[in-house]
Structures are given as C-alpha cells and as structure tokens.
C-alpha cells in the first residue's frame, strides 16, 4: 500500500509570530522536489500567522499539544476546538518532552487522541524509549505498552486517521541519530504491533515517522527504509534551508 511520505517540523518552544512569518516568507519560495506532505507544528502563539502564511499552499499547520476536555477551569490549556478555529489541522501528542516535563501519560495521550479525532485534527502520536530502556532490552515491551494504552478504545477506522512518530529519547536533540537499521527495526515492530491490535490493512495504511536528530545528511537513508514514512524533525525544522533539504531527501 502506498503511503504518502510526511515530513513534519516540530518547532517546540521556538519562534515568535514575527519569526514564523519570516520563516515562511523564505520557505515558501524554496522549490520542493519530492512529493512529500509537509507540516509544521508551531507554538500556539504562531498558529494564526503560520496558517495565514501557508494559505493556498499544501503545507499543513499544527500545534504541539491540546487538552482533552472541551472547556473549563484548566488554566493555561488550549482545547481542540480552539486549535481547529485557528485553521490548524494537526497536533503532536505524547511527545517525550511533554511526558517528561508536563506529566503526560499514556492515559492522557489516549484522551487527547480521541479529542483531536473528534475535531477532525490529525494527531501525530509520539512513542519512544530512553537509553536506559534500550540498554536493558525493554525497547519493544515499552513501545508496545505506549501504543496499546495510547490507542485504547480507538477503532481501526479512527486509528487510520492518525500518524505515529517513533522518537527514541536518546536521539532527540543529541545529534545521536538512530541508524537506519535501528529506526527501521522499531518502526517495523510498531507496524506489526498495529497489525496485532487491529489488522494488517490498518497497519499498512498508518504512517510511521522517525524523529530524533534528523538532518539533511541522515534523512535520505532513514526515509528509504520500508517502514519509515517520513520524519518528525525538531532542530533542523527551524532553519528553512535545512528543512527543505530534508523534505527533498
């Protein structure tokens, strides 16, 4: 089954709205050679600017979190409805930084996936092991648990509307990219797990991205692996010249 390659930038806590505008002025002028889908997940404060700057292009815009309730006394949070109202259509959920610093759990990720889908927002659901877990041989058990708990109560039909990002924590922001084979091994495992949770057809239709120090140099090798359908790119997505090379890899 042909899956359209997806290259998503995760800006994390970077760029003001004015900086986002300047970024898209440069990026929009750069020729895109590959037929990849391109998405930027930006800070909430840059959403409206980013949506406006990419209107009429094929670039998608998203956030990096939502709350799982519709509204109410949740100081500092943003709902799926509010996100949707900006024109954004994507959201990164369960990023390891949110799990580590903001008490995100598989249970809250599960609720957020459901809420995003309810509003027609495409979730990019992150999973990945720490170095400690990898060195102690529990990578696969850990990823299986994150997936199975994250997707509790989500139908095959809805699961197909999601994207999964495999981001080994030891490779995030460290410059220590997983080898093509290491990344492929876990992405293939994720697909096999999805087949066990749902069915082969569902597993084959869900896009699985790799994230963790993806650069213009490492992108082509990673993206050529059979179960890697693109990338979730942090640092290199902040620089238009670097990111376009990854998109075109």
By CB under 6 A, tell whether 187 contacts ligand 13P: no
Instruction: Report 216-235 residues binding ligand 13P (CB under 6 A).
Output: 232-235
Instruction: Give the distance from CA 182 to its chain's centroid.
Output: 19
| Nearest residue (CB) to ligand 13P, 183 versus 232 | 232
CB of 233 to ligand 13P, least distance (A): 5
Can 67 be counted among the known catalytic residues?
no
Considering the candidates 95, 104, 129, 193, report the single residue annotated as catalytic: 95
Which of 104, 129, 167, 193 is catalytic? The answer is 167
Residue 208's H or E segment, with its range, is strand 207-211
Beta carbon of residue 75, minimum distance to ligand 13P (angstroms, whole number): 25
Q: State the DSSP H helix or E strand holding residue 231, giving kind and residue range, or none if neither.
A: strand 230-233
**What mask of x and - would describe binding to ligand 13P in positions 84 to 103, judged by CB under 6 A?**
-----------x--------
Which positions from 136 through 165 interact with ligand 13P, judged by CB under 6 A?
Answer: none
Query: Residues near 226 by Cβ (< 8 Å), separated by ≥ 6?
Result: 184, 188
Residues 42-81, one symbol each (x = binds ligand 13P by CB under 6 A, - = not), give ----------------------------------------
Residue listed under structure tokens 């981001």: 167
Nearer to ligand 13P, 121 or 198 (CB): 121
81 is known as an active-site residue: no
188-202 per-residue burial string, b: 16 or more CB within 10 A, e: under 16: ebbbebbeebbeeeb
β partners of residue 209: 165
CB of 97 within 8 A of CB of 125? Answer: no
79, 146, 213, 218: which one contacts ligand 13P (CB under 6 A)?
213
Q: Give exposure, 203-226, as e/b (b: 16+ Cβ within 10 Å).
A: bebbbbbbbbbbbbebbebbbebe
Which residue in 208, 212, 219, 223 binds ligand 13P (CB under 6 A)?
212
Report the site for ligand 13P in 160-179 (rule: CB under 6 A): 167, 172-173
């Amino acid at each position: 089954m042909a899956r359209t390659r997806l290259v998503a930038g995760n800006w994390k806590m970077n760029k003001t709205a004015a900086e986002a505008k300047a970024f898209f002025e440069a990026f929009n002028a750069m020729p895109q050679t590959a037929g990849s889908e391109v998405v930027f997940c930006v800070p909430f404060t840059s959403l409206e600017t980013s949506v406006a700057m990419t209107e009429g292009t094929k670039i998608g815009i998203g956030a990096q979190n939502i709350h799982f309730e519709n509204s109410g006394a949740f100081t500092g949070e943003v709902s799926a409805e509010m996100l949707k109202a900006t024109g954004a259509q994507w959201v990164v959920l369960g990023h390891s930084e949110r799990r580590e610093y903001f008490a995100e759990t598989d249970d809250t990720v599960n609720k957020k996936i459901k809420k995003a889908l309810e509003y027609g927002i495409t979730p990019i659901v992150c999973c990945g092991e720490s170095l400690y877990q990898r060195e102690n041989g529990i990578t696969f058990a850990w990823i299986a648990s994150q997936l199975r708990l994250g997707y509790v109560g989500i139908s095959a039909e809805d699961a197909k509307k999601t994207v999964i990002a495999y981001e080994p924590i030891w490779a995030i922001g460290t410059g220590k990219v997983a080898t093509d084979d290491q990344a492929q091994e876990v992405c293939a495992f994720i697909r096999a797990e999805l087949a066990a949770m749902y069915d082969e057809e569902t597993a084959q239709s869900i896009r699985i991205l790799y994230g963790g120090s993806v650069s213009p140099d490492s992108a082509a090798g990673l993206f050529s692996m059979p179960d890697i359908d693109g990338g979730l790119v942090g640092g290199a997505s902040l620089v238009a010249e670097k990111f376009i090379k990854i998109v075109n890899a």
